Structure 1
Amino acid sequence: MSVYFLAQIKILDESQYEKYLNKCDEIFSKYKGKYLSVDSKPEIKEGEWDYSRSVLIEFPNKLEFDKWYNSDSYQEILEYRLSGAKCDSIVINGE
């Protein structure tokens, strides 16, 4: 069953966040994830959206997601994303 990683990101420190962006695609390419959307101007239908961007990534299953997220290489750069931005992230199960 596919799982989806949804991150709502509000960039607070461009230079810190840029350190994350400089490495994330290289690390991500080693795993079976697929970017479905990276959007900085989504259409808001309900509520409020106080973020700089939304990112939606599909993984074939929870095991592959866990391999990516918990990998040493990703954990090394995750600190840049978390220190450079407010991030609200969830994992959603697919059908």
Structure 2
Amino acid sequence: MSDASPVHFIAHFTVTDGDGYHNYEKRFFPVLKPYGAKFITFDDNVTVLEGEREAGRTVIIQFPSEKVLMEWWNSPEYRELAAIRHQATTTFSVSVIHAIPQR
């Protein structure tokens, strides 16, 4: 699999501090933009087809590659911003979804 394959980052979290989350949210996109990522969608009320889901927000972001995603994730700017998210939300899952492998 090429490192240049796009990947999708999926996170699900419950907001526990609305003001703190608003602070995170308004600072989020300027930190994301330099990495060429595409914010695909968010949903606060997904349809659960099977199993149980914790209340909260699910987001999907596409990055040009896993390398770029990890550069963003580990950047000093995002680590500082993530500390705000940690105080304002409970994160239930974070995933990196790779493209379908070549056959």
What TM bracket, shorter-length normalisation?
over 0.9
Cα deviation digits, residues 21-75 of structure 1 (max 9, x gap): 1200111111111111111111110111113210001111111101111111111
Q: TM-score, normalised by structure 2?
A: 0.86
- Percent identical pairs in the alignment equals 26
Higher Cα radius of gyration? 2
**2:74 corresponds to 1:94:** no
Aligned residue pairs, count: 95
Q: Which runs of 4+ in 1 moved over 4 A?
A: none
**2:32 corresponds to 1:23:** no
> 2-side partners of 1:63 and 1:26: how far apart?
19
The runs of 5 or more residues in structure 1 that have no matched partner are: none
Q: TM-score, normalised by structure 1?
A: 0.92
**2:66 corresponds to 1:62:** yes
- Two-structure CA RMSD over aligned residues (Å): 1.1
